A and B are shown apart, each in its own frame.
Chain A
Amino acid sequence: MVIAMKQRLLACCVLMLLAFGVRAELVIEVTQGVDAPTPIAVVPFGWSGGTPLPEDIAEIVSTDLYRSGFFSAMKRSDMLSFPQQQAQVFFRDWRVSGQNYLLIGRVTSAGGEQLQVTYELYDVLKETRVFGEQISGSTRNMRDMAHYIADAVFEKLTGLRGAFSTRIAYVTAQNQGGGRHRYSLQLADADGARARTILESREPIMSPSWSKDGSKLAYVSFESSRPGIYVQHLATGKREKIQSFAGLNGAPAWAPDGQRLALTLSKDGNPEIYTLDLARRQLTRVTHHYGIDTEPTWSPDGQSILFTSDRGGQPQIYRVYLSDRRIERVTFEGNYNSSGKLTQDGRFLAMVHRSAGAGAAFNIAVQDLKTGRLDILTQTSLDESPTIAPNGSIVLYATQQGNTGVLAAVSLDGRVRFRMPSSSGDVREPAWSPYLQ
């Protein structure tokens, strides 16, 4: 009897949690999570200082874990207590409210702006401490500390490296009327917070691409009334114009070695893929075809470049091996495959895909290059610009919501989805950073 009642209570709580989860007001809206997300309670961290802290670490950690889709996060208002130490934890309370894991912590001042944060993860069912750590920082980088904790917890519980401490770059466009637009290149945390403008222009900005060490962005800007490829150092803001030939200068993509860019130039008559050695300023033409060749992306080993070409009559993705310039076609399903991006292990190719059927939409699809299997991951239309999180778990892309361009994301297995609604204007062309130092 007692056990049965407990189970019913537990089921009720889980249902309630799911309902709350759906309603949560976040910058990131999770539209679909895994079938059985792991319940975790992230208790507000203790703080003994007088003035309130600028950031709520527990809230950021909780949101990170929740939006990964792998976890359901317990609402604070449902918590019976806010333990800060192991001695204050009553496992039965957390178990009864359906939690599998419990994260507690405390913040202490280390003088001036310096802080020390201690956090501990508990397994509620086993009533054991999983792990804990003390980290130091300052009031100015509390979000970084929070993402760091989320990464650690995520990796411990899923076995996947967390990508919460990474960043995204994206382009916004605002129509100011009278044919005037304002374009800006934005840099934000992976959760959309702390967005800042790193370039603004009345002319289009396109195709941001991260250097492999995360210190620089290459992009296309039309600021000189013609397209040019620029590289901007994020720490200093220093930027340089890399290429501006007659015709197209587009689609920069950083090589894994960090020394070269792949890019598209049409200076010789039509769009071809080139590589540019940045130190030597040496340009090497890679493709030779009268069709359109563009959107290069490197294989992780740097030995080949995948690109979009309409040499077969419609856009498809091909691979060229740099050693012998051998070219092989990679995509075969559908009548439009472009803008390919590989996972870090080189196995999965995310792309914009359109099925062969009449009136088919442009969706994000992923192809397993080992088996050839292609899965369509999105059900919207006009989806474009896929970019993959460095841990290979999530594809971020641009789509339309109503008449506005927004960013959305889907896990590579299609189980988790979230949207990042825009505050103003069209948001497009996301580029997910590599792991940052």
Chain B
Amino acid sequence: MRALNVTKVAALALTFAWVAGCSSTSTQTDSADMGAGMGSDSGAMTSGSAGMGGMSGSELPAEVANLQTVFYFDFDQSTVKGESFADLEAHARYLSSNPQASVRLEGHADERGTREYNIALGERRGNAVARFLMVNGANAGQVEVISYGEEKPAVMGHGSDSWAQNRRVELKYAGR
């Protein structure tokens, strides 16, 4: 209920297993959908993230107020993208130095494919971000993952732009 029951060591091991698993699968599922356009798509998404964080700046602790809180993923993928590293590391540092703070990671998927599979995919994304935070100093007890799959899209619409904005993990600090 409260947190991931995974030790840091296991988390690390899993991360590597995951990355290995993902890289072996990426070509098959994504090649059809993710053309060359994806790179520019992700740039557009990042700029839109400030407004979609799900939390206003005033609710965020001051030390992390300027960090991204929404992190995006490729289709059927759960690999944390390089563009997310810096901000996630900063969140992890904050959690590490503020043991009383905690975050909820809400994993989401785009509407394509089936709902229960997408719930699983959203959780996998949430777990990937959770592991990233833990590897970088956050404690397992500070991180909770919940997946909404495709049930709570950030934007409506049935095109690749909408889908790209909906494949995300939203990081929310718990109210204090």
Q: Measuring CB to CB, which residues of chain A are less than 8 angstroms from any residue of chain B?
A: 175, 179, 181, 204, 206-207, 222, 225-227, 244-248, 250-251, 264, 266, 269-271, 290-292, 294-295, 308, 310, 313-315, 335-336, 338-339, 352, 354, 356-360, 362, 382, 384-385, 400, 403, 428-429
Contacts and interface: CB of A to CB of B under 8 A. Distances in A.
A315 B119 contact: no
B123 A266 contact: yes
B119 A250 contact: yes
Given A292-B124, A313-B25, A336-B29, A227 B119 contact: yes
B82 interface: no
B19 interface: no
Q: Which 5 A-B pairs have the closest CB atoms?
A: A204-B151, A313-B25, A339-B114, A292-B120, A251-B116
Contacts of A247: 123, 145
Nearest to B4: A246
B115 interface: yes
19 contacts: A204-B148, A206-B149, A222-B151, A227-B119, A245-B1, A246-B1, A266-B120, A290-B17, A292-B117, A292-B124, A294-B117, A295-B114, A313-B25, A335-B32, A358-B32, A359-B32, A362-B112, A384-B114, A428-B115
Contacts of B123: 247-248, 266, 271
B113 A352 contact: yes
Interface residues of B, number: 41
A290 B15 CA distance: 12
Given A290-B17, A291-B21, A310-B25, A357 B116 contact: no
Given A204-B148, A310-B25, A292 B17 contact: no
Contacts of A403: 156-158
Interface in B110-141: 111-117, 119-121, 123-124, 127
Contacts of B124: 270, 292
A429 B2 CA distance: 30
B109 to A, nearest CB: 11
Given A204-B148, A204-B151, A382-B111, A314 B25 contact: yes
A385 B148 contact: no
B116 A339 contact: yes
